[in-house]
Chain A
């Protein structure tokens, strides 16, 4: 395949999918999310089956938009009213499919982000639906990211769509204070989206820069609108910038994982962009995004032996109070090991509440392995790294963990 066709594809599918759903949903006047989704899925399917044989069109996203809009028109013509006698006859304004899907953050996308985070759903379900529809993640990716099963996520999505369907009418997106609770889920979903790109849960590559870029684009879209701009949103945007600044240095030329101690310098333009967001993040109570942004900024600066570990530990202490999840508590132990020593960290690991839930999380074993290693217990360290490799979620990660295990055996 020609390289230009390949990069056109990158743009076309995942990003176009979320944008198309948003656009079609807006065209339907904020009703029938299911039809917007069906028409989008149809156009992706048509592309999948036609492009390989006929070749990728010059403007893939415009092709997808045209097919999806036409399909929506057909679907609406064929759609039966949901309630007999009610004035819910679907009126579909005619629209010329765009020449290109806009790269700018549009009202349609904002509306879809907030529509999927509907308070009739629990926050967990809002996040799931938002990831699927507005962020374009697959069920498999969502399941991995939320430490859940694919079937559970699929069922959750089915129930969520039914709940929204039963509400009928347009899913109005409120303004002002009513928007607050939805912001929480929108921020969480974007956080998951970014992390999915930062640490791929699928396949050959360790990072997917396009997912991180998409998360950053969406959060900057959210904070660029007066009604949805909050200090928390800016803190989240800062967090993304600081983490994105180190994306390149997490992977070496051969696609292998580079641990923090050996990473190259962060990208200064992204650090500067994050600092700008931090300025707008001042003035309210500290959110977990503020704490994580500061941690990410520290991580982006210099090698890990120069990091201010006591400050890191105190940030984690605050973070654990805001988010008492086992995952945060686990990451805190890395700082405990540096400040109080590996022995204390290992003892704390054994007492960690909810530890059994992290069994399939590779870093839980990798952290244990590195603590054993620092205490000189190499066989135990090796076992832990091997166990971590068993649960590795990408090839580069597995290679790295096996390398760590091997190093313990050789020493």
Chain B
């Protein structure tokens, strides 16, 4: 078993016009998916990232450049992450396949290098 990182990419604007009933449906679907993975012992960790205030840090010569979020206007933001256990990339992709997030954005699957 290896650990895989599922990065949840999304466009924040997708969520802007949803109704309470839509929200409820999303939470229900999502929670069912994560509870299922947890029950199978495959879900290691899940985190939602804060929407506001991201920072980007880089060095340019002697200077440290820190640029500010928020990324509210960006079309592609990482909104959260899951860490799952899977035997292979194929299996990790299959786990991601059932994730309701795919209706609202993309999932980037990366294996955590433990060698």
A residues with CB within 8 A of B: 1-2, 5-6, 9-10, 12-14, 16-17, 44-45, 47-56, 136-141
Contact = CB atoms under 8 A, between A and B. Distances in A.
A53 B21 contact: no
Contact of B20 (A6, A14, A50, A53): A14
B11 interface: no
Contact of B32 (A1, A47, A55): A1
Contact of A139 (B19, B27, B79): B19
A50 B100 CA distance: 14
Contacts of B71: none
B15 A48 contact: yes
24 contacts: A1-B28, A6-B28, A12-B24, A13-B20, A13-B23, A13-B27, A14-B20, A17-B20, A44-B20, A45-B18, A45-B23, A47-B27, A48-B15, A48-B26, A49-B79, A52-B26, A52-B27, A52-B31, A52-B100, A53-B30, A53-B48, A136-B20, A137-B21, A138-B21
A56 B20 CA distance: 16
Interface centre among A48, A51, A53, A138 (most CB of B within 10 A): A53
A12 B21 CA distance: 10
B22 interface: yes
Contacts of B23: 13, 44-45, 47-48
A47 B51 CA distance: 12
A6 B24 CA distance: 10
Contacts of A56: 27, 31
A55 B34 CA distance: 9
B54 interface: no
Q: Is the interface of B mostly helix, strand, loop or mixed?
A: helix
Contacts, number: 77
B28 A53 contact: no
Interface residues of B, number: 24
Interface string B19-55: 1111110111011111100000000001110000000
A53 B46 contact: yes
Contacts of A51: 27, 30-31
A16 B31 CA distance: 19
A194 to B, nearest CB: 16
Contacts of A137: 19, 21
Contacts of A136: 19-21
Contacts of B28: 1, 6, 9
B30 A13 contact: no
A138 B26 CA distance: 14
Interface of B: 15, 18-24, 26-28, 30-35, 46-48, 79-80, 82, 100
B24 A52 contact: no
Contact of A49 (B15, B22, B33): B15
A53 B80 contact: yes
A272 to B, nearest CB: 32
Contacts of A49: 15, 48, 79-80
Contacts of B32: 1
B10 to A, nearest CB: 9
B21, B46, B47 interface centre (most CB from chain A within 10 Å): B21
Contacts of A54: 46-48
Contacts of B100: 52
A48 B46 contact: no
A140 B19 contact: yes
B93 to A, nearest CB: 20
A5 B80 contact: no
Contacts of A10: 24
A171 B46 CA distance: 44
A123 to B, nearest CB: 23
A55 B32 CA distance: 10
Nearest to A55: B31
Contacts of A140: 19
B47 A53 contact: yes
A101 to B, nearest CB: 13
A177 to B, nearest CB: 34
A122 to B, nearest CB: 23
Nearest to A136: B20
Given A13-B23, A17-B20, 9 more contacts: A16-B20, A44-B23, A49-B80, A51-B30, A52-B33, A53-B82, A54-B48, A56-B27, A138-B22
